[in-house]
Chains A and B, each alone.
Chain A
Amino acid sequence: MKEAIREALDQEMARDESVMLLGEDIAFYGGCFQVTQGLFEKYGAKRVMDTPISEAGFVGACVGAAITGLRPVAELMFMDFATVCMDPIVNQAAKSRYMSGGANKVPMVLRLPNGGGMSGAEHHSQSLETWFAHMPGLYVACPSNPYDAKGLMIASIRNDNPVMFCEHKLLYGTTGEVPEEAYEEPLGRARIAREGRDATVVATQMMVHKALRVAEKLAEEGISVEVVDPRTISPLDMDAIVTSVKKTHRAVVAHEAYKFCGFGAEIASTIMSEAFDYLDAPVIRVGAKFAPIPYNWDLEKEIIPQDADIEKAVRESLYR
């Protein structure tokens, strides 16, 4: 997936002079996760800019640059560091267009490596995308595979709104078919990752892969699970989700963000109100347990939702 993202950045930078990258260690070093490798050599320091460790400063700078003609793509080394620059994101980027009565637009992308499962502990493992989804003016993209990553990145760069682009660290190394040419995948359109009849699992990022494994396993028992990947949680494709639930009558919503007040609650609640008569069981949410992510790897697995949690939820909704 990291190559897919790199290709997207490369193709957009080639196409549009105003696209430039900023972040820590993205130039010579090629980025902490090697996503921007090679771009510095190709485009130079003006367009691939190393910054000091000053997230509030350079993310805020992105907002100003975006308003005045550039299309910056900034990298935060970990989504956890977004806390340091919440004001530029939430009070500036998100609100600038609205506050200016539509005069400003903020065509920037903020790349945020998120997710746990590698013993990164409290400050390097978080999934905070719910916070950004909860802010009008921001878009939030959560690709689960290389094809979507490239398509959504290109769409995000071309989009005139600030996009929080979430990249799950454990997915960087995954591979898949990706067209060579540039292509867009629309923001706000879900993808059916697997068709099924008996239950719908709505999942993002890593949870898509866990859900697919569970679906494979349950298929042996004759249970047919449909996996829906929203791909962007803002804008959110509730139509696809509701259509799926009306077909299957059962819904499980799975994400790595905390279950309590996670964005899955929004999806579950909307399913309830729009497909109430079609539900055979309450909508079940699967999310991280409500504690910081611990260092110890076994404790971490306790907190972060696993395959077994999804399986349990699906079975519960089927009364099996």
Chain B
Amino acid sequence: MALYNIVMEKLSLTMEHGTIMQWHKRPGDQVKEGDLLAEVTTDKVNMAVESPYNGVLAQVLKEEGEIVPVLQVIAVIDGPAGQTVFSAGEAPSTAAPPPAPAPMPAATPPSGGDVQLGNQEYLLLMEKLSLTMEKGTLMQWHKRAGQMVASGEVVAEVATDKVNMEIESPYTGVLKRILVAEGQEAPCLTPIGVIEGPAGQTVLSEAAAPTEAQPSPVLAGPSPATTQPQAAGGRLSISPAARKLASEQGVDPETLTGRGPDGRIVLADVEEAVARQPQLTHLAAKTAELLGVPAAILPRGRRLYCRDIEAAAAAADTGLKTAAGPDTYTEPLGDLKAAMSRNMQKSWQTAPHVTLNRRITADGMIQLRTSLKEHYGEKVSYTDIILKAASMALELYPIINSSLQDNTVIYHRYVNLGIATDTPQGLLVPVVKNAQGLSLLELSRAAAAQIDKAQRNRVKLEDISGGTFTVTSLGGFGIDDFTPVINPPESAILGVGAIGKEVVPDGAGFRIASRMSLSLSFDHRHIDGATAARFLAAVAKFLENPFYFAI
């Protein structure tokens, strides 16, 4: 038997301490590997602490509500000796190639219990980084198990016999499990980790998945043939400085022809290779393709990652940059905001956004809300009413509730409504799952709960992922109408403006009515204007005639 420490994990770069929200096991309880031990909250998210070990929870050292500095011990498990944190070899049962989007849930509306939450496990693979690479050694994990990872972020550093390379995560989510420990080797294209994230991520590097032995596009062609190439099968002749530079720049020396005596590869050979073309990671290459960034504008001389492509795209767009100086100050976006920023850009550049505006009369909504409050004591918000209307309209026009992936429309048999919420941490979009089966009151309560979680920074990953349609309101700020950005992988988003009294024609005369604008942005790739307009008309109809909710 041996004792194992459970520590407060450092879940993000800036995390300095975490708060124990709740213990799910008590001292003396049996624990199995993977069991939920506790929930912990940080400055950004709530995290589940799962047990990496089998055994008995011997000691709980920090109480609920206690603030614990990172890497301090919070509990001790007493279990069989020889267990390691990394359950190497215990790859998830999905040994299949990277997953397709979430499978369709049962057609019957769920009734609580195990619900398809819309999250998915993705495999992080040992990338095949060159033609001849067969295995790699995991040099360093840049994320720990349980940490959030954004797509494009560097998650690990890997060494082959020639070069060191960084692996970017193709997915956004949580690094749920590390399968290959630092110092261990893994054959190419085998799993090294598991990322759990929102379903349906159309991963850019999927195309570079196991089926293709696609080399990293970092290799240069041979230098001008002034010398003979290396003797085949012989030891590589390369100067120490050249070897070092090649390693730093991610150049595979085996593809170079050396100008030194006996074909020795020298600094100049590597420098020319580095300078000759831009060197992109898998992900960066795909991002460049996606964003339409031409190779010509990419910087040369170093390995380029996703963030470099985005920066190049941004710089190319505006052609202007702001110079830093004594009159400016800077604040980096931070990982999550940067991921969101990327998402916004990707969404905007991927889906052709068309926004339809429609003014509706809100008197029906106002009356409904007032009645519910006065007669039933129920507090229902305008947003709740709009959510209900949207949910109903989505059932009628399922294409608005879909996701487009590679020329295939994926229809969801459920409606997961995202509610854009302005929280102290910034914009969060908590999701109400399976809204299609909920009454107005149920929907209202569910929404309130989710919004409350968001406001108090108690959201978990599943609360902010898996949406199929989003509602966003700027009415509270006095905005009439606007052009919301679709939240990928959704296909549409409904923006709500302010309610205001207006003079409207009434027969030959006029009357005062409360009016409001609805702004529907939709992805014009697979949704046509007429369909979107009909959907919006349905929403409008439901809102102007709330008795439809009773049907």
Chains A and B touch (C-beta atoms under 8 A apart): yes
Q: Report which A residues bind B (CB closer than 8 A).
A: 249, 276-281, 319
Bound-state CA distance A249–B244 (Å) is 12
Bound-state CA distance A278–B242 (Å) is 8
Q: Which 4 A-B pairs have the closest CB atoms?
A: A280-B267, A280-B241, A280-B239, A277-B240
Select one of B244, B260, B266 contacting A277, CB under 8 A.
B244
Interfacial chain B residues near A249, Cβ < 8 Å? 241, 267
B: interface residue count bin: 10 to 19
Interfacial chain A residues near B260, Cβ < 8 Å? 281, 319
Sampled A-B contacts (9; CB under 8 Å): A276-B240, A278-B241, A278-B244, A279-B241, A280-B239, A280-B241, A280-B267, A319-B260, A319-B268
Interfacial chain B residues near A281, Cβ < 8 Å? 239, 260, 266
Interfacial chain B residues near A277, Cβ < 8 Å? 240-241, 243-244
| Residues of chain B from 233 to 281 with CB closer than 8 A to chain A in the complex | 239-244, 259-260, 266-268
Bound-state CA distance A230–B39 (Å) is 65
Interfacial chain A residues near B241, Cβ < 8 Å? 249, 277-280
Most chain-A CB neighbours within 10 Å: which of B243, B244, B259?
B244
Interfacial chain B residues near A279, Cβ < 8 Å? 239-241
Interfacial chain B residues near A319, Cβ < 8 Å? 259-260, 266, 268
Bound-state CA distance A278–B243 (Å) is 9
Q: Is the CB of A280 within 8 A of B242?
A: yes
Bound-state CA distance A277–B241 (Å) is 5
With both chains docked as a complex, state the minimum distance between the C-beta of B163 and any C-beta of chain A, in angstroms: 15
With both chains docked as a complex, state the minimum distance between the C-beta of B222 and any C-beta of chain A, in angstroms: 16
With A278-B240, A278-B244, A280-B266 already in contact, 19 other A-B pairs whose C-beta atoms are closer than 8 Å: A249-B241, A249-B267, A277-B241, A277-B244, A278-B241, A279-B239, A279-B240, A279-B241, A280-B239, A280-B240, A280-B242, A280-B267, A281-B239, A281-B260, A281-B266, A319-B259, A319-B260, A319-B266, A319-B268
With both chains docked as a complex, state the minimum distance between the C-beta of B277 and any C-beta of chain A, in angstroms: 22
Q: Chain B 323-360 against A: per-residue CB contact (8 Å), 1 yes, 0 no?
A: 00000000000000000000000000000000000000
Bound-state CA distance A277–B268 (Å) is 15
Bound-state CA distance A66–B263 (Å) is 58
Bound-state CA distance A249–B240 (Å) is 9
Interfacial chain A residues near B267, Cβ < 8 Å? 249, 280
Task: List the A residue with the shortest CB-CB distance to B269.
Answer: A319
Interfacial chain B residues near A276, Cβ < 8 Å? 240
Bound-state CA distance A265–B240 (Å) is 20
With both chains docked as a complex, state the minimum distance between the C-beta of A274 and any C-beta of chain B, in angstroms: 12
With both chains docked as a complex, state the minimum distance between the C-beta of A270 and any C-beta of chain B, in angstroms: 15
With both chains docked as a complex, state the minimum distance between the C-beta of B225 and any C-beta of chain A, in angstroms: 15
Bound-state CA distance A281–B261 (Å) is 10
Bound-state CA distance A277–B247 (Å) is 11
With both chains docked as a complex, state the minimum distance between the C-beta of A82 and any C-beta of chain B, in angstroms: 40
Interfacial chain A residues near B259, Cβ < 8 Å? 319
